[in-house]
Structure 1
Amino acid sequence: MSISNGGLPSLCAMAPDGSAHHSSVSSSDHVHGYWERYEQLKYNDVVKNCLFEDVITRYENLMLKHTEYVKEHQSERAQAKEALQREQRAITNVAHLQNLLNRDPFILVLLDGDGMIFNANFLREGETGGEHAATVLHSTVQEWAAVSIVDCPSDVKVIVRVYANIKDLADVCTKASILTSTVQLEEFARGFTRGKTLFDFVDVGYGKDRADGKVAETFKLFLYDYHCRQILFGCSHDNGYARLLEQYTDCSQAAQRVTLLEGVPFEKELAGMPFPKLKYSGIFRETKINVAPPDSLTGMTRRVDSRGLNAASSIFTPRTATPLSPYKTPSSGIPQLDGALAQRLPHLRTMSVTSSGNTSDSGGAVSSWAAITRASADRPLTDIKRTPSGSTVELGRNTEIQRNRHGHRIDEPLDYDRDEVQRLKKYKMCNQHYIGVGCCHFNAGKSDKCPHRHDVKLTQHELYVLRMVARETPCKKGLYCDDTKCIYGHRCPFPRATEGGLRGSGMCLNGEHCRFGRAMHEVDIKIVKTVRAVGAF
């Protein structure tokens, strides 16, 4: 077999004589071999094509992913650039806000002026004293802040807000001989306000809880104000502020921002509050004011404890009940006595009539009391005859009830000794146990449930005096009570108000703080009938 045509095998061989002859290998085998070789080439082409297709497909996928990654990268770069810009703006804003927050830092001194009273030396100096008090308080607070407040700015301001009923506070200070005139306190308030630009002595006027309400709302307003670095809260005289402060006892931020300022010693509930406490000696009064209003029975003065001008004030709530009924008739400003008692005290009635002729209607009962005091200076402490100690006094045995023309119950007058009433009140004895129908807790063997004492042994005279103590509590059944054993009061025993905002209101000196209802203040005490009734309180 020869190879020609580029090395391809020849399909036939030539004879020596030039004639063609067939190879020993059959033509069919040659053809089959070509077909095999052809098929092999075809297979190789398929493998090659598959390889190319796979490569191209993979390349195409890579190109798609690359394109996607490029887009994401570009998006992220844009976002990163925008985030960087936002961060830069935020940093600028934070710096600006921090600058604003750090600007004008201040300390708030918040005082209830009805009980947080300035030292008498300041008050007596009037306007000059007010300016001096403002200067001393300002420098004292700044010195304390520099030492006690962390990171306290050197330019910290001091703001003082004092809320008080100036007129009534001035009256109290004058009666207690702290001031010689009510004008002195008004001048002090003006001087205090003018003493420093950020100091204000605010007159809230007369009204229930006006000072308390303003103090409480101001406290809430500034408590979480960032500019306010500390609140010095002057409220040591009034347990009522414990209700306000107990809302923030679990707040660590409030505990760091509030300091209780002491004037008079802290009341029990306030003393237990988890707030820092501070005392500025020499600036505020450290003892309660004691005034000596004339006793309405004897005309002699008596010592009364005062905590300011709040609901518990002795100025507005006399500690001793009295059978005096200071109801004025339309034609006279003279206080009237109970019928039976007036017969036993003609000298008091005469002095009251005499003194009223020299006073204006605005003076009222107070001017009469002053006249009684002067006229009775040489008399013994009490004119009322005492019930002999140890005498038999029938308590709760009456079967008759006295009523006026409106059917209102009129309590019988009681002779009493002022000192005895004061002494018995200190024991906090259970009225129902001793002179009533009996204490339900004590009778049930649960005396610890009753807050009053049951273990004091009283004489018949002391039981009698205890009835006067019980009269200070208004009866729940009111003016129409028909219980013959009732030990409580059915009309207000305190003197009628004849001065200030209460004048002409028909209320007593307690004003809106009085526990007796308004209807129990202007009761006709003329007895027109006596009825028999049986009941149990």
Structure 2
Amino acid sequence: MMDIHSNLEDLEVGWRLCKGHDDQKHALIEDLFAYISALSLKLSEAEVELRDKKDVIQLNRSRLEEVKTENQALKLEKESSQQSATARHVFASVVIDGDCMPFKDELLRQGLDGGKKTASLLKQAVENDLRSRASPDADVSPNLQVLVRVYANMKGLAKTYKDMDILPDVASLDEFVRGFNMGDALCDFVDAGNGKECSDEKVKATFRVHLADVHCHQILFGGTADNGYARLLGPCVEDETARGRITLIEGPPFANELADLKDRFRVVSFNDVFRTQKLLNLKRRVSFHITPPMTPSTGYASAVAKAAPPSSPGPSSLVRTTTSSTSPKTSTALAKGLGTTILRNKLGQRVDQSTHFSQSEFGNIKARKLCNSHHLLGACSFMDAYGECSHQHGDQLSPRQLQILRAVARQSPCPAGLGCNDPSCILGHRCARDGCALANCRFSVEMHNVDTRFVA
């Protein structure tokens, strides 16, 4: 009987243990469900928050794209407006140095009508040139205006035309200029003043202003017969954008320093408008200061080298004089010294006779900075045009001094070379240095080793 009660108690204890385990298991399962429920709630909340954030991001992206689109549209509108404004005000600038780029004689002789005709011909030639160079898909703006500025020393130019019998009197040029200015509202022929560099400075200033102007489509430059403009054009050689906006107008032959640059620019000729030969007595025709020989080369380096100031003092550093430019004594010396006969050898080449002198004699004459034109020709175009000359006039030279001065003047080569037909030319027609190194000489190859034996 005792065993039955004992087993019952053991069973009850076992049951209670099992029941306790079941309670723990149920409690654990309930806790797990509660935990899962809590996690599910947090997950739902996170999903809602994430969805809201995605919506915000998408909205921001949409707004950003709208802003970008609006910004691009405004930018394009601004560029279009600027291009439209530029197209409405685009112009081509024609800048002419009238002292070294003279108009054709027959136009000048027509006076008022000739001036009007010249303005019309020049503008028409420029417009035709601009249209001819445009690519098929790049139309020239219908709003393109052609501005023409001609700067010249009117007083000196008028006298030169009269002295060359191109015009009957100095007042005739005024009629031509008046017609030129009346011919077109955008064509101006400006009297730059009677200073030697007045025209140059105005030409350079106008050139620089228009080159910096975004509205300026093209600059057509007419001053290529003056070496001084090599300094103006030299810096543009390596600037492809600037170089593409510059066209050189060829009239009289290119000056030596500009001849080295011309292949880097576009060159055009308006033969119906401009002379192809220089005027004989313009300021640049009688600049006889001696420049040391330079090594010829090609490209921009040559232009820079040639553009360097000469080692001899320039006109600005010399004593100025306002002495009369001519004298009977000088003219007499000229008649005795030069004569009217041009000596030539059997090949028909012009011969400069040799002059014998000591180095000290030559150095003394050269150092005095005498005016070659005044002493050798009896006239000075500087004095005639401006009333002053930067080289010495002074007293009459002795025959010996004139002979040596002629040798000094002959250190500058004549542009006409061995075929020169001007009896009064005082420039050199051959290199007089013995054993000259051709590569370092200003005289051309054919002007070396010239037969100096002249024939009757």
2:192 maps to 204
Are 2:153 and 1:165 aligned?
yes
After TM superposition, give the deviation of residue 94 of structure 1 in Å: 2.7
CA gap of 1:171–1:26, structure 2 versus 1, over 3 A, is same
- 1:472/1:493 contact within 8 Å kept: no
Task: Within 5 Å, give how 1:43-192 maps onto structure 2.
Answer: 43-150=28-135, 151-192=139-180
**Alpha-carbon distance, 1:157 to partner:** 2.2
Name 2:211's counterpart in structure 1: 223
Question: What CA distance in whole angstroms lies between the structure 1 residues aligned with 2:60 and 2:394?
Answer: 86
Of residues 209, 218, 242, the one that matches 1:254 is 242
Asked if structure 1 preserves the Cα contact closer than 8 Å seen for 2:88 and 2:143, the reply is no
The 3 A distance-change label for structure 1 pair 318 and 101 is closer
One of 353, 361, 382 as aligned partner of 2:335: 382
Tell me, yes or no, if the aligned pair for 1:474 and 1:515 is still in contact at 8 Å. Answer: no
Deviation at 1:365, TM superposition (A): 5.3
> Do residues 32 (structure 1) and 22 (structure 2) align?
no
- CA distances 1:89-132 after superposition (whole Å, capped 9, x unpaired): 33333332222111143221111111000011111222221111
Which of 183, 203, 227 matches 1:239?
Answer: 227
- Cα separation, partners in 2 of 1:256 and 1:92, compared to 1, 3 Å: same
Name the SS for the 2:66 alignment partner. Answer: helix
Task: Find out whether 1:277 has 2:267 as its counterpart.
Answer: yes
Q: How has the CA–CA distance of structure 1 residues 493 and 111 changed in structure 2, closer, same or farther, with 3 Å as cutoff?
A: closer
CA 1:96/1:365 → structure 2, altered by over 3 Å: closer, same or farther?
Answer: closer
Relative to structure 1, the CA distance from residue 265 to residue 225 in structure 2 (aligned partners, 3 Å threshold; closer, same or farther) is same
**CA distance change for structure 1 residues 464 and 81 in 2, over 3 Å: closer, same or farther?**
same
Partner of 1:443: none
Task: State whether residues 146 and 154 of structure 1, in contact with CA within 8 Å, keep that contact through their aligned partners in structure 2.
Answer: no
> Cα 1:216–1:468, aligned 2, differ >3 Å: closer, same or farther?
farther
Identity within the alignment, %? 25
Residue 31 of structure 1 and its aligned partner are, at CA, apart by 0.7
Change (3 A) 1:313 1:470: farther
* In the alignment, structure 1 residue 267 sits paired with structure 2 residue 255: yes
TM-score (ref. length: structure 1): 0.56
Matches of 2:150 and 2:217 in 1, distance apart? 19
In the TM superposition, residue 468 of structure 1 has moved relative to its aligned partner by 7.7
Deviation at 1:490, TM superposition (A): 12
Q: Distance in 1 between matches of 2:70 and 2:272?
A: 58
* AA partner of residue 137 (structure 1): L
Aligned to 1:473: 366
**Are 1:463 and 2:356 matched, yes or no?**
yes
Look up the SS of the partner of 2:168 in the other structure. coil
Partner amino acid for 1:140? A
CA-CA distance at 1:164 after TM superposition: 0.9
Write the letter of the residue equivalent to 1:473: K
Report the Cα distance in structure 1 between the residues aligned to 2:247 and 2:371, rounded to whole angstroms: 45
Mapping of residues 281-430 of structure 1, within 5 Å: 281-290=271-280, 306=281, 308-309=282-283, 312-314=284-286, 382-383=335-336, 417-418=337-338
Aligned AA for 1:136? L
Which structure ranks higher in relative contact order (CA pairs < 8 Å, sequence separation ≥ 6)?
Answer: 2
Deviation at 1:187, TM superposition (A): 1.8
Output the CA distance in 1 between the equivalents of 2:144 and 2:361: 56
Instruction: Give the whole-Å Cα distance in 2 for the aligned partners of 1:141 and 1:91.
Output: 33
User: TM-score, length-normalised on structure 2?
Assistant: 0.65
Distance 1:74 1:171 in 2: 82
CA distance in 2, matches of 1:465, 1:146: 61
Greater Cα shift, 109-118 or 47-56: 47-56
> Residue 228 of structure 1 aligns to which amino acid in structure 2?
C
Between the aligned partners of 1:466 and 1:283, the Cα distance in structure 2 is 48
Aligned-residue RMSD, C-alpha: 4.0
Counterpart CA distance in 2 for 1:241 and 1:41 is: 107
Gaps of 5+ in 2: 291-319, 344-351, 398-456
Contact 2:112 2:175 in 1 (8 A): yes
- CA deviations on 1:31-56 (whole Å, 9 max, x unpaired) are 10110001101211222222223223
SS in 2 for 1:158: strand
CA-to-aligned-CA distance 1:256-295 (integer Å, 9 cap, x gap):
21110011011233223200111111311111222xxxxx
Cα distance, 1:372 vs. partner?
A: 9.3
How has the CA–CA distance of structure 1 residues 382 and 271 changed in structure 2, closer, same or farther, with 3 Å as cutoff? closer
Structure 1: unaligned runs, 5 residues or longer:
1-19, 291-305, 320-325, 329-334, 336-363, 384-416, 424-456, 476-487, 503-508, 526-537
| Distance change >3 Å, CA 26–CA 186, structure 1 → 2 | same
Shift of 1:168: 0.8
AA matched with 2:366? T
SS at match of 2:146: strand
Which digits, 9 at most, give the CA deviation of each residue in 1:208-248, with x for residues without a partner?
Answer: 42211221121121124343222111112012211111211
Aligned partners of 1:126 and 1:187 also within 8 Å: yes
Deviation at 1:196, TM superposition (A): 0.7
- Offset, 1:146: 1.7
Contact 2:196 2:386 in 1 (8 A): no
More helix by share: 2
Structure number with greater Rg is 1
Contact 1:262 1:280 in 2 (8 A): yes
Opposite residue 110 of structure 2, the aligned amino acid is E
Secondary structure, counterpart of 1:283 in structure 2: coil
Once residues 371 and 267 of structure 2 are traced to their aligned partners in structure 1, the CA distance between those partners, rounded to angstroms, is 44
